[in-house]
Structure 1
Amino acid sequence: MSDSPRVADFLFAYENFNNFNLEIEEKFALMIVIISSYDDTMVKEKDEESWATSIRNNLLKDIRIHKNTIDYWAMSDEADLDNCFL
């Protein structure tokens, strides 16, 4: 479940997943929570640029497990930007 005040905590857990013994499925799920939480933060107009950079870098680093997540959130087939995620 997304929790916008905890984006930094979620990113820390993701980036230190070896210390938390996360499996690939847990890493996949955690990234979804991170993106959803960050989207909530942007809706509240509290964008944190360092989070965006970190999320992007982590998605690219682990693109093999996050390709479907990227496709979902990108909504590249949607022509009306009002129907897209921030």
Structure 2
Amino acid sequence: MNFITKQAIESLSEKLRLPKLDPNYQDWEFEVADSRRVNELISFYESAVLDQDEKFALMSLIISSFDDAIREAREQHGTWDSIKKHLIRDMVLHKNTILYWSLLEEEFEDYICITPYMRQIIMN
């Protein structure tokens, strides 16, 4: 099972000029999520040379930021298709992330904004 490493947080924080947090903070991807930067983060995922830990952490940040964008009505056309493409292409790396956000054990009314999107991947 993958997890977000301290090294990946430090590297991505520097490369993307993200807010600096306590290095022991457990929910980095939620704290630095930014709904206004989703497409920028996707572009970085596509173009930067990243190791597996950085890719895993960055995708977690992208998903959290996209969830915020949906909630704030900032979702842009085509954004989900880009995210989904990378989740499927890198399925081995992101499988547990997809399962986490899919909330398969939860009732439909208990889901978070991105849950229906993630369930699309599971169902297909």
Q: Which has the bigger relative contact order, CA under 8 A and spacing at least 6?
A: 1
Q: State how far apart, in whole Å, the 2-side matches of 1:3 and 1:60 are.
A: 23
Counting only pairs closer than 5 Å after superposition, residues 46-57 of structure 1 correspond to structure 2 as: 46-57=74-85
Q: State how far apart, in whole Å, the 1-side matches of 2:74 and 2:44 are.
A: 21
TM-score by length of 1: 0.89
How many residues end up aligned between the 2 structures?
A: 82
Deviation above 4 Å: which 4+ runs of structure 1? none
- Return the index of the structure with the highest Cα Rg: 2
Report the equivalent of 2:89: 61
TM-score by length of 2: 0.63
Matched residue type, 1:2: A
Q: State how far apart, in whole Å, the 2-side matches of 1:35 and 1:46 are.
A: 14
Q: Decide which structure has greater helix share.
A: 1
Question: RMSD of the alignment, in Å?
Answer: 1.0
Cα drift, residue 21 of structure 1: 2.5
Q: State how far apart, in whole Å, the 2-side matches of 1:85 and 1:63 are.
A: 21
* Structure 1 alignment gaps of length 5 or more: none
